[in-house]
Amino acid sequence: MNKLYIKTLGCKVNYAESDGLANFFKKQGYEIVEDEKKADTILLNTCAVTKEAEKNSFKWLNRYKKKNYQILLTGCLIPLLKEKQFSGNGQIKILSLEEKQKIVEKEEILPSRRRAFLKIVDGCNRFCHYCLVGRIRGEIRSVCEDWVVKECKRLKELGIKEIVLCGINLGLYGKDIGSSLKNLLLRLEKEISDIRFRLSSLEIDTISDELLSLMIKLVKDGILCPHFHLPLQSGSDRILEKMGRRYRIKEYEQIITKIIENLSDANIGCDVMVGYLGEEEKDFLLTYQFLEKAPFGYFHVFPFSKRPLTPIYQEKETISEKEKKVRLKILMDLREKKIEKYCQKFLNQIRKGILIEEDIYLTDNYLNVKVFGNLRDMLYIKIKDFYIKNKNFPILLGEEFKGG
């Protein structure tokens, strides 16, 4: 029996697809292993959303080639590959995006953790000027509500405590099948109990007033996690327009204000890009000021990199790599302060956590907490202090709360 180790890079959609591929290859006779040293075959699910992500994908590919693994290569790197990059010895087999999609479209997932990533929509119809992903994954394709509900029930029976609903553009779920994310959440509220749901990422222009009100209600009812990842990209309306984004800062601010007014403990995160084409100092300052004043618990920062197949690929860079690094460092320093400030709010508070690895729990509001003692899949945790600060996301220190 071939032993298969799955290495996943990139977004939560990739993790969801890897879990579907795991189930498929298990049915094909592979033994899925959790240690690559025990494997003879590696399934490498790649990412190419940025130039750095592409480099990282090649790094892992070359690493596995040198170790003489048989390699099944898939993911968003595939459309960018050239035939000459591979030797003809058969070590690497390509699983195209189309082949992967056919496999995972209706495949039950084989979760490799206590929380499951469930892809409910692929593709994106927005086509922001810098974005490669929508152009290689195509138009939106939603899975039907009945399948989602059935799969959630199955995952609950397997002991899964949290389901993360994923999509390349999650808020567009259902637009192609006469449904919507709001309708799906209403069904999950009605038909699934004793499990918590988390939304992976939502674009601001897909959040209607009705959807926002429902999400707030579901958080208050303990069904949805108080954690919202809302990509920002820039705090300058001028740059948002150049990017082809479909919202402006006022709209973004209105939504996060309503969230915090109703859910003061909510953890709001975003993605930010520095050095986009035409970004001037005043645009960067607007971004910094918005991030500083807004109630973010964290944000991810990326230097802009031109991607193949996008309409701006041939345009000339306007910001030097040196200046990008300067701006990146400024925002990373701010990010560290925002994360620490948010975490400080919860010292000596009680949060519900799910065991995600060894002795690390993930709380409903997206905090990592180390707990010593008798560990169970789910605990009420009293957060005591910081355990490790020098990480992208700090690890807090907590103990089981037994009441009183």
What is the DSSP code string of 86-121?
S-SSS-EEE--HHHHHHHHSSPPP--SSSEEEEEEE
pLDDT digits (tens, 9 = 90+) for 306-357: 999 999 999 999 999 999 999 999 999 999 999 999 999 999 999 999 999 8
Indicate whether 36 pLDDT > 60.
yes
Residues 263 and 213 in one domain: no
pLDDT of residue 375: 84
- Give residue 374's pLDDT band: very low, low, confident or very high (50, 70, 90): confident
Q: Going by C-beta distance under 8 Å and a sequence separation of 6 or more, which residues neighbour residue 194?
A: 156
Do 249 and 329 sit in the same domain of this protein? Answer: yes
First to last CA, the chain: 53
Query: What is the CATH number for 335?
Result: 3.30.750.200
Q: Are residues 251 and 316 in the same domain?
A: yes
Rounded to two decimals, the pTM is 0.94
How many structural domains comprise the chain?
Answer: 4
> Is residue 106, in this structure, part of any structural domain at all?
no
Could you tell me if residue 212 is inside a domain?
yes
> Is the same domain home to 292 and 364?
no
52: left (phi over 0), alpha (psi -120 to 50) or beta: alpha
Q: Domain boundary at 49, 67, 101, which?
A: 101
Domain that holds residue 40: 3-101
* Residue position matching structure tokens 């799906």: 184
Judge if 270 and 356 occupy the same domain. Answer: no
DSSP string spanning 290-353? Answer: HHHHS-EEEEEEEE----TTSTTTTSPP-S-HHHHHHHHHHHHHHHHHHHHHHHHTTTT-EEEE
Asked whether residue 87 carries a pLDDT value surpassing 60, the answer given is: no
Task: Identify whether residues 244 and 308 lie together within a single domain.
Answer: yes
pLDDT at position 89 = 74
For residue 239, the model assigns a pLDDT of 98
Answer whether residue 108 is part of any domain.
Answer: no
The model's confidence at residue 161, banded by pLDDT at 50, 70 and 90, is very high
pLDDT digits (tens, 9 = 90+) for 217-265: 999 999 999 999 999 999 999 999 999 999 999 999 999 999 999 999 9
**Do 339 and 367 sit in the same domain of this protein?**
no
Same domain, 202 and 304: no
Same domain, 258 and 300: yes
Residue 52 scores a pLDDT above 90: yes
For residues 333 and 300, state if they share a domain: yes
Q: What is the amino acid identity at position 72?
A: L
The rounded distance, in Å, linking the Cα atoms of 395 and 45 is 27
By C-alpha distance, which of 107, 91, 79, 148 is closest to 19? Answer: 107
